[in-house]
Structure 1
Amino acid sequence: MHDYPLLNVFWTMAELFLCILWFFLLFKVINDIFRSHDMGGWAKAGWVILVILLPLLGVLVYVIARGQSMGRRDVEQARQQEAAVRDYIRDAAGGRPGTADAGAGGAGDAGAGHLAKLSELRDHGVITDEEFRRAKDRLPAA
């Protein structure tokens, strides 16, 4: 047996957790610096230099100075991604004639395939029952 007290194991785990948390925050701040549209190139370069040369102070100052706008940018990006995914799913579920996903078979085969896709999307909660009904009404009759 090795002589490593249990309290030291917990302390080592806490240090490891804080190290991982620190790197996550550092990369999040650097990512936010580059995606911020309200700063010019020189301001971004200044923040990056500060964060790299004095990481603890740079990250702390950045979070204090720009933390609120950082949160708003996260929320806005999440909304844009969700809207893009919903638009893509609606377009894919709509099954417009002449698109690549219309199927190789006849109109009945394509309609059945699209209906199966729509049903699967509805079952997984991706589209609502109303969206399912509207998309189903747009399918060609078999």
Structure 2
Amino acid sequence: MNWGSTWDFLWHFLIIFAWIAYLLVLFQILTDLFWRDHKTSGVVKAIWVVFLFLIPWFTALIYLIFRGQGMSVRAHEAAVAAKQQTDDYIKQAAGRSPAEEIAHAKELLDAGTITPGEYDSLKAKALA
């Protein structure tokens, strides 16, 4: 068995793994910088990008240490906003607005089809 080729294979595998891991981190950092972080100036963003390409691992590590907490907060806010947009779209695509639902429930209450308790339940459901 040729141990040299085995160790070469493992070394190359490790290098490829590290490269892919860096690319994942790089894309997360760039996404945070350019799509989520609206408070940082363009000059500071440009400096981060330059250093990310000049001294890649060190800069990524520094970015994650100093801006990692804010990065997770911004990612969470983006996820919540995306969920809210999806929910709003589903409600809009599903038909009536909450005001229309309440008006319909009021018509049913006035007609005697539902009880005041059922009306309150439908109203709360429409407003949720």
TM value normalised by structure 1 = 0.57
> Counterpart in 1 of 2:23?
23
The structure whose RCO (Cα within 8 Å, separation 6+) is larger is 2
Coordinate RMSD, CA, aligned: 2.8
Give the letter for the 2:42 counterpart: G
SS at match of 1:38: coil
Q: Tell which structure's C-alpha radius of gyration is larger.
A: 2
Give the letter for the 1:30 counterpart: L
> Counterpart in 2 of 1:55?
56
CA shift digits 1:41-77 (9 cap, x unpaired): 1111111111122111111111111010000000000
CA shift digits 1:80-104 (9 cap, x unpaired): 00010011001101257xxxxxxxx
> Counterpart in 1 of 2:107?
none
SS at match of 1:24: helix
Runs of at least 4 residues of structure 1 off by over 6 A?
none
- Check the 8 A contact 2:32/2:71 in 1, yes or no: yes
After superposition, the Cα gap between the structure-2 partners of 1:83 and 1:67, relative to the gap in structure 1 and judged at 3 Å, is same
Unpaired runs of 5+ in structure 1? 97-129, 136-142
Task: Give the count of matched residue pairs.
Answer: 98
TM value normalised by structure 2 = 0.63
> CA offset at residue 12 of structure 1?
4.4
Separation of aligned partners in 2, 1:12 and 1:82: 41
1:32 aligns with 2:32: yes
Give the letter for the 1:26 counterpart: L
Percent identity at matched positions? 33
- Check the 8 A contact 1:33/1:48 in 2, yes or no: no
> Counterpart in 2 of 1:46?
47
> Counterpart in 2 of 1:107?
none
* Structure ranking higher in helix proportion: 2
Superposed, 1:1-142 pairs within 5 Å as 4-5=5-6, 12-35=12-35, 36-94=37-95
